[in-house]
Copies of this chain bind each other. A is one copy, B any other.
Amino acid sequence: MLTGQNGYLYGRGTTDDKGPIVATLFAIRELLARQRSAENNAEAAGVDMPNFVFLYQGEGENQSQGIRETVEDNIGFFGPIDLIFISNNYWLGDTTPCLTYGMRGCLEIQIKVEGPGVDLHAGVDGGAIREPILDVVALVNRIVDPATGKYTEPAFYDDVRPVAAEEIALFESLEFDVEAYKATLGVSTLLPAFGGDKAAATSVVDVLMNRWRFPAVSVTSIKGSIANSSIIAKAAQTELTLRTVPDQSPAEIERLVLAHIRREFDALQTTNRLSIVVKSNVPWWLGDIHSRYFQAAEQALEKHWKKRPMLVREGGMSQITTFLKTTLKAPCMHFPMGQASDRAHLQNERIRLRNLRTGKDVLVDFFAAIAQDTPTEKPRSD
């Protein structure tokens, strides 16, 4: 049940993302009211009104099932689109508004090694056969370096876009408390700077670039076909999650990684059998912060929050962002509305009333601004 307390609304989905949805609808209602008011008052200034096409889904926790088919089957209803506006993430902290301009891609791979036809007793058969778990361990050890967290095939990093001076300045401008982040995670050290030595990363730039701007590899599961201290598992498997970034080609990376894993497995010289399944391969997304959309958004945010917004990225991917961008042939914007401490998806999820109200005001100005110079409405004046 929605509960108000200390300036916050508490309830499941308040910040992710029923709150932002409602704020957007209120912003549009206000724009429509202004337009009607202008039409009724010959002396008032005209109001530019964009066309909005709404796309809501309730399957975000379920791989967004059906959304692709819905868009593809109704493409005439959606197009032409100038901008894809998404608001389902959060600020980097609690005090400075953010605009999200990039997300990493994600290649998920399941690796399985099969050996004997049956699980075996470690006493009866231990010492006789080569164990599939040990092959999985040896393989993982060959493809990810635990000390740096890096993928061991250097070619994996060949196409990572070099860091531009402008980008470093952008990261340096971010307000982020590394010690608080470590405390939240419950760790005493973080991985070293990407490409740096083994000294732990301590700067904001290092930490945030590791999380948003550079690729990462995680071993998200590892297990045998049976977990019993007397039994040798007949098979074992592991799952790798590789976060990809500009300008890695998802298809090329997939080819490279699969070939590399097979090569390293061959080097183990085992008669156990390897199989690899690509579970998903979602492309990264990078918005154009120099576009008129980002600039209009920055101006509207600064006007209402009285401070410049932070331009941030995210480490996780949004499958739907790249799909919409590609299918509707339009740029994307992620417009976060809630605070980092909103506890999205958790108990006591909340959103601050001020964020909803000011968010609505920001959107009114943002939508009005981009309506003025939307190419499909009229030629741009600049």
Contacts and interface: CB of A to CB of B under 8 A. Distances in A.
Interface of A: 104, 106, 108, 115-118, 120-131, 133-138, 140-141, 144, 146-147, 149, 181, 185-191, 194, 198, 201, 207, 210-211, 214-224, 226-234, 236, 239, 241, 243, 268-271, 279, 314-317
Nearest to A109: B229
Contacts of A236: 222
19 contacts: A108-B229, A117-B187, A122-B316, A126-B217, A127-B216, A128-B181, A128-B191, A129-B149, A130-B191, A133-B221, A138-B141, A146-B268, A146-B270, A218-B232, A220-B231, A220-B232, A222-B223, A229-B241, A229-B279
A218 B224 CA distance: 12
Nearest to A150: B127
A367 B218 CA distance: 64
Contacts of A211: 124-128
A243 B229 CA distance: 12
Copy tally for this chain in the complex stands at 2
A230 B241 CA distance: 7
A122 B220 contact: yes
B189 A130 contact: yes
A136 to B, nearest CB: 8
B315 A127 contact: yes
A116 B222 contact: no
B140 A146 contact: no
B117 A219 contact: no
Contacts of A123: 104, 106, 241, 243, 314-317
Given A123-B241, A127-B243, A129-B190, 13 more contacts: A120-B185, A123-B317, A124-B315, A128-B185, A128-B191, A128-B207, A129-B191, A134-B149, A134-B219, A187-B271, A188-B271, A229-B239, A230-B316
A126 B317 CA distance: 12
B314 A216 contact: no
Contacts of A118: 185-186
A210 B219 CA distance: 33
Closest 6 CB pairs of A and B: A117-B186, A123-B316, A127-B216, A134-B146, A126-B216, A221-B227
Contacts of A117: 185-187
Contacts of A201: 128
A135 to B, nearest CB: 6
A188 to B, nearest CB: 5
A9 B316 CA distance: 62
A130 B147 contact: yes
A127 B191 contact: yes
Nearest to A243: B126
B243 A129 contact: no
Contact of A218 (B108, B122, B181, B190): B122
Contacts of A189: 130, 271
B127 A215 contact: yes
A15 to B, nearest CB: 15
Nearest to A186: B117
A315 B125 contact: yes
Q: Most chain-B Cβ atoms within 10 A of its Cβ — which of A223, A229, A271?
A: A229
Contacts of A241: 122-123, 126, 229-230
B230 A220 contact: yes
Given A123-B316, A127-B210, A133 B222 contact: yes
A88 to B, nearest CB: 14
A222 B236 CA distance: 9
